[in-house]
Structure 1
């Protein structure tokens, strides 16, 4: 019996880095974990396969947290396996890798939508649907992975 048996978790940005590690750990502790990825279906499939090989359950969903209209459906999908969502880990982030004098307004708007606006409204949705005792965890490690020159916006 895992400490999270019967619980469901949703992790944004769960196909790589610390997000993938969080998915693996939550699943190892017994949670059914739904996680998002934006573009790397292969990386997401690898995480799902690793979790299943270790005896856990993980579901990968292609979703961009900048798409506010998709947030309620994402939370609904994540609650389906157990009937409720117990844990939300807001981890996804984006960085613009180019010199600051080349960052466009569109770059900035995309970055803001992914790193600020999307997480804000995802956390709001989590606050609406998580039961008493549920957990909301917000973090990001992007600049620890891609630090240095040409990360003018992140």
Structure 2
């Protein structure tokens, strides 16, 4: 009897991703990101890169909620410290058709005792089938003694199943 229960649980767990994929209002998957630092941040850091996992859920009235968690690394241009953050974001988006506009907020804990700045990221994007591509401007707000605000333009490509 235990074997039968374990077999049923295993089959249910294997079928769950396929059943979620059939929900047109739900998308979950990996993303890759390129980040181009601006202002003083751009003077010392090179183009950033990273990735993570993202989810979006469609709501009525062409609205949707989003969430993501990942890592973003900015190498240093010269002798100095690179910057690595672990952004966790949640947001809302409005769908025009395949085009959408949205904003995300959250926190980005940084390495090397640089703190955990709050972040804000307005974006515009396109979602076609499982491909989601967006452009954004993200700011990490932190105290001046921790280096001040860090801003960058970002390009994000995600596969959402």
More strand by share: 2
More helix by share: 1
TM-score (ref. length: structure 2) = 0.28
TM-score (ref. length: structure 1) = 0.29
